[in-house]
Amino acid sequence: MARPRKFRRVCCLPERDLFGPLTGPRSERDIINMTVEEYEVIRLIDMEGLMQEECAQRMNVARTTVQRIYAEARKKIAESLVLGKILKIEGGNYELCVDSEQKVGCLRWRRHRHRHGNQL
């Protein structure tokens, strides 16, 4: 019997979910779908500077899972850039973190802090 899939914890959904060339023909085959958890791994590792182990802890998954998701996400980004395809972020197997789980570096934490002053 297969093991049930764990939901990957993500901080928040992206503010924008569509990226790509500004001109040219657009068809279904010109769209690359990136999952929300692939977006989250890219955000945590490349933007926040976390190591794969730290990223895995934040997302509540194994480091090897993060490694696999990260490789898939980078390949999709490269395909979008090199081949001029549209990158669309949607779907996946995730759950949003709740306010009590927010950490420094979490986008929801930053937005909350910004709204309520720079109090920690």
Give the pLDDT score at 105: 56
Question: In this predicted structure, what is the pLDDT of residue 24?
Answer: 75
What pLDDT score does 114 carry? 45
pLDDT by 10s per residue, the chain, length 120: 777 777 899 988 999 999 998 887 778 888 999 999 999 999 999 999 999 999 999 999 999 999 999 999 999 999 999 999 999 999 999 999 876 555 555 654 444 444 445 544
What does the pLDDT read at residue 41? 97
What pLDDT sits at residue 12? 87
Please name the amino acid found at residue 82: V
Which residues partner with 94 through β-bridges? 8
Confidence (pLDDT) at 113: 45
DSSP conformation letters of 61-101: S-HHHHHHHHHHHHHHHHHHHHHT-EEEE---SEEEPPGGG
Q: Which of 3, 16, 10, 38 is nearest to 94 (CA)?
A: 10
Instruction: Say how far residue 21 (Cα) sits from the centre of its chain.
Output: 21
